[in-house]
Amino acid sequence: MSSSGIQNAHTAAYRALCLGALLTRGGLETAVKPLYDRDRDIPDGVRRFITSRHWQEHHRLNQWIREERLEPYLSRAERLLLSKSFPSWTERNLTVAAWRSESLGVILWALRAIDTLPAFDTPFQAPDVLTPLEIFTPTIDFVWQASLRPAARLQHLRDTADLWNWRARAAELERMGIKPPEGLSFAGIIRLTAEKGHENGLLPAPIDGDFPAFGRAYARMSHAQAVSVSHIAHQRCAALNWLCELSSEWESLPVDNV
C-alpha cells in the first residue's frame, strides 16, 4: 500500500486495463451468443463464419494481454474467465463482467481519463469506458502518464458511494422483512441518512425524505430500476474502497462495511 492511503497511479492504470480486457471479452461473447440460440434458425455456415471472425478478435485480445504483460495484474476471477474457451461464457459470467463497467468507469475518472461521472441512477456505457483504454494498442503511454485525482476527492466520492450502497442494502433488508432496532423505522433511518448526506455534500437533495433516483424517491423506483442502482452502487463502492486502500485485494473488497 502507498503511504498516502491511495493506490499508486500505475497500479490503478493496470487495474483499468485488466477490467477493459474483461469487458472486451464480454462484448465478444455477447455478440456471438445469439448465434447459438436454439430458437433461431441460423445456417451452420453463417454461424461458423461469424463465430470465426469474433474468435480472431478473441485471439487478438489474448495476444495483446500477453504482449503487454497484463497477466500478473489480472485477478484470479479475471484470469479464469479470460482463459475459458471461446465462446463459452454463461449468462452469469456475462452479467458479472458487464457490471464491471461501473468499477472501470470510477477508476478511469480517478485517473482523469473520464471528466464526469454519471449519477448513481445512470450506468456507464461500455464504449465510454473502453475508448480511453485503446484496447489492442501499446499500453505504455496510458500507464506511465497515469495521474490520480487528489486523495480528498477520491475519499469524498467513496463516502458518497458508501451511502448509495448502504441505501441498496437497507432496501434489501426491508424487502426481507428484517426489522430495525426497537423504536426505529427504516423510513426514519433513511430520512436522517439522506438529510445528513445532503448536508455533508455527499448526496443530492432528498425527495420525500429519501435518496433521489430517477426523479423520485428511492423507495418508489421500479424493481428493475432498484436492481440497476444496487449494482451501480456496489461496483462503484468496491472500486473506490480499493482505490482508497480499504482493501488491497481486488476480490476481497469490504463493500458492506457501513
Cβ atoms within 10 Å of 98's Cβ, excluding its own: 17
CA dist 63 and 60 (Å) reads 5
Residue-level pLDDT at 47? 81
Q: Are 106 and 243 in contact (CB under 8 A)?
A: yes
CA dist 97 and 81 (Å) reads 9
- Per domain, the residue ranges of the chain are 9-144, 151-243
DSSP 207: B
Residue-level pLDDT at 245? 86
What would the mean pLDDT of 237-255 be, rounded to a whole number? 77
Q: What is the mean pLDDT of the chain?
A: 92
Is 253 a residue whose pLDDT tops 60?
A: no
Residues 94, 137, 232: CA angle, nearest 5 degrees: 35
For 47-63, the pLDDT digits (tens) are: 888 889 999 999 999 99
pLDDT-derived band at 152, boundaries 50, 70, 90: very high
What would the mean pLDDT of 210-222 be, rounded to a whole number? 97
pLDDT-derived band at 125, boundaries 50, 70, 90: very high
- Among residues 9, 8, 17, 10, which one has the least CA distance to residue 68? 17
pLDDT-derived band at 41, boundaries 50, 70, 90: confident
- Among residues 87, 100, 89, 95, which one has the least CA distance to residue 20? 100
pTM of the model: 0.92
What would the mean pLDDT of 93-112 be, rounded to a whole number? 96
Is 38 a residue whose pLDDT tops 80?
A: no
